Structure 1
Amino acid sequence: MNKIFPSLCLLLLAAVLCLHQTLANETPSPSVAPEPEDLIAQACDRTLYKNVCKAILESDPESKGSDFQDLGKIALQFASKNATAIFELVLDLSNSTTNEFERQCLADCSEGFQDVIEQVRDSIEALQSKRYNDANTWITAAMTDAQSCEEGFHEEPGHDSPLTEMNELFSQICSIALTITNLLDDAAAATTA
């Protein structure tokens, strides 16, 4: 027995060290509840637009004590406000332009952004119901419609879109929301697997 005991201790020590090393290398699951600032950093570090993500999420007082679900909702609510602001600008520009091509582009954008606003609302509902794939579908549709608005201005040479900066920001916000909903979807899939 004296010869087996040291070997057993070494084997047990090796197993503990391997387990410790494995756990140390794992990325925390989104379902783990670290501090809200840590959650914001975790979410934003995975996006293409880290600074925009942090600015949006940290600016909302609701982000304090939030989980990934809440952060996704905050991003989508911000996207909704942004889409509404673009729609209102489109209406203002439509009333002030005298160029027929621009008027038609703005009419198309007005129609498109009515859809965008509804799609973002649908994505918020899907997120709240934990239907993450549906949320992603609606977010992607909203991004596509916003991009179509932007591209309409470039169909005729010499015309620039007056909405480019706002459309780019909208696309970035939607990209951030997609990243968060994908994190949630991955976490949900891991818990059901």
Structure 2
Amino acid sequence: MAALLYKQIFQAFLVTLTLTSSINPAWAARVVIGARNVEFIRVSCQATTYPNLCYTSLSSHASDIRADSQLLAHTALTLTLQTAESTSAVMVKMGKSQGLSHREVGAMRDCVEELRDSVSEIRKSLVEMKQLKGSDFDLKVNDIQTWVSAALTDEDTCTEGFAVNGNVKAAVREAIVNVAHMTSNALALINAFAALHN
């Protein structure tokens, strides 16, 4: 139902734009292309586990992504890397907080290590995304999928060492959840891109 409503609104927008395009055809063409790019992102994000987060994080990059599935996946990975790096920095600061128990300090240290691994795996994926050409396309995509899956596992593992109902675990979980959702969405977009080439 929501998809139908979006489509109708988009079509009404295009009709209105067509009627006003005689005022400035070049401007109207740019707006139509921009609207198509944003719509491409919205539709693509429907295949992810967290479509609202996907759309809000990627829609401002529509002019760079255009309607290119590879650029969409690459941009999603880039934003995920930035989020993972900033989350890792937050975890390092939290680990230096006063009042942590011995167990919480150890769990925080483990969490920071898991996030470092996640950042490394996402970086490797980004490097490989830039080299997706040639006869070894499937092998490279498989490597990317494996690394991003491992990054997601690392992020999910981050909260395991904390006490079940502790305040520190809740704070860590809150910080980790966004990067885990971003990683999950990036993986879904990579999988969708890979499926186009099978």
TM-score normalised over the length of structure 1: 0.73
Following superposition, the deviation at residue 64 of structure 1 comes to 5.1
Q: Distance in 1 between matches of 2:65 and 2:156?
A: 33
Structure 2 match to 1:65: 66
Structure 2 match to 1:93: 94
Following superposition, the deviation at residue 182 of structure 1 comes to 1.0
Q: Distance in 2 between matches of 1:176 and 1:118?
A: 18
- Aligned residue type for 1:184: F
- Aligned residue type for 2:183: C
Q: Distance in 2 between matches of 1:143 and 1:64?
A: 24
Following superposition, the deviation at residue 157 of structure 1 comes to 4.2
Out of 186, 191, 198, the position equivalent to 1:177 is 186
- Identity, % of aligned pairs? 25
- Aligned residue type for 1:164: R
Following superposition, the deviation at residue 59 of structure 1 comes to 2.6
Give every structure 1 segment of 4 or more consecutive aligned residues whose post-TM-superposition deviation is greater than 4 Å. none
Structure 2 match to 1:188: 197
Larger radius of gyration: 1
Following superposition, the deviation at residue 69 of structure 1 comes to 0.8
SS at match of 2:52: helix
Structure 2 match to 1:108: 110
**RMSD over aligned Cα atoms:** 2.0
- Aligned residue type for 2:116: Q
Following superposition, the deviation at residue 97 of structure 1 comes to 3.3
Distance 1:81 1:185, change over 3 A: same
Structure 1 match to 2:121: 119
Distance 1:177 1:64, change over 3 A: closer
SS at match of 2:85: helix
Gaps of 5+ in 2: 1-32, 133-139
Structure 2 match to 1:138: 147
CA contact (8 A) 1:87 1:113 kept: yes
Deviations 1:74-115 (A, max 9, x none): 111111111111111111111113321111111101111111
Distance 1:136 1:97, change over 3 A: farther
Deviations 1:110-144 (A, max 9, x none): 11111111011011122222222211111110111
CA contact (8 A) 1:73 1:124 kept: yes
Q: Distance in 2 between matches of 1:97 and 1:152?
A: 18
Following superposition, the deviation at residue 63 of structure 1 comes to 3.8
- Aligned residue type for 1:185: A
- Aligned residue type for 1:113: L
Aligned residues: 155
Q: Distance in 2 between matches of 1:65 and 1:157?
A: 44
Q: Distance in 1 between matches of 2:161 and 2:119?
A: 19
Q: Distance in 1 between matches of 2:54 and 2:125?
A: 18
Gaps of 5+ in 1: 1-32
Distance 1:39 1:104, change over 3 A: same
